[in-house]
């Protein structure tokens, strides 16, 4: 399956009042090279995901995800060298579902919003809390944040 999304920094927390769902996520990376292998605990479910190399300025890439037993996800996550923790808020805005990730732990202070698209030329309407696009900036990829946390960028 092909994943097409845009990623933006968020400039305030007004999105929280607009969220229809909020869930804790913990994820780690088993491999973060040409293909990224990620294990994730999303709420009370476990997932394993493989993502290919980004194309189209980071807009699209191959993605394969499957649910796995939560105990397997916990075991795999404990073997990851770096992890990312966040609260994911889902917000509907003008026909689009926005995934707003409010990072915690070593990435505290970073808030990123993603929106999935049907094609690479699509330009969704932006909520007032969206600031600037960072789709092509690898620093905001979770696999990078797992190894180089946001709180360490300014030291």
Cβ neighbours around 79 below 10 Å, total? 9
DSSP structural state of residue 55: B
The token duo for 70 is 């939560």
What is the pLDDT, as a whole number, of residue 51? 84
pLDDT of residue 55: 65
For 56-107, what is each residue's pLDDT tens digit? 566 677 889 999 999 999 999 999 988 999 999 999 999 999 999 999 999 9
Is residue 52 over pLDDT 90? no
- CA torsion angle 41 92 7 48 (round to 10): 20
Which 3 state secondary structure label does DSSP give 106?
A: helix
Would you name the residues annotated as active-site residues?
Answer: 29
The count of other CB atoms within 10 Å of the CB of residue 154 is 6
**pTM, entire model:** 0.89
Q: Is the pLDDT of residue 46 over 80?
A: yes
């Amino acid at each position: 399956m092909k994943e097409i999304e845009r990623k933006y920094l968020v400039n305030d927390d007004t999105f929280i009042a607009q969220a229809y769902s909020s869930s804790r996520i913990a994820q780690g990376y088993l491999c973060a090279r040409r293909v990224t292998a990620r294990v994730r605990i999303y709420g009370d479910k476990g997932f394993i995901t493989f993502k290919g190399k980004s194309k189209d300025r980071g807009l699209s890439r191959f993605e394969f995800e499957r649910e796995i037993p939560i105990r397997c996800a916990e075991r795999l996550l404990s073997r990851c060298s770096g992890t990312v923790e966040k609260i994911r808020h889902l917000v509907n805005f003008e026909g689009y579902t926005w995934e707003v990730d409010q990072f915690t732990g070593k990435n505290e202070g970073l808030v990123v919003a993603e929106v999935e698209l049907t094609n690479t030329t699509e330009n969704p309407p932006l909520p007032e809390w969206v600031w600037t696009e960072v789709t092509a900036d690898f620093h905001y990829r979770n696999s990078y944040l797992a190894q180089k946390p946001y709180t360490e960028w300014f030291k």
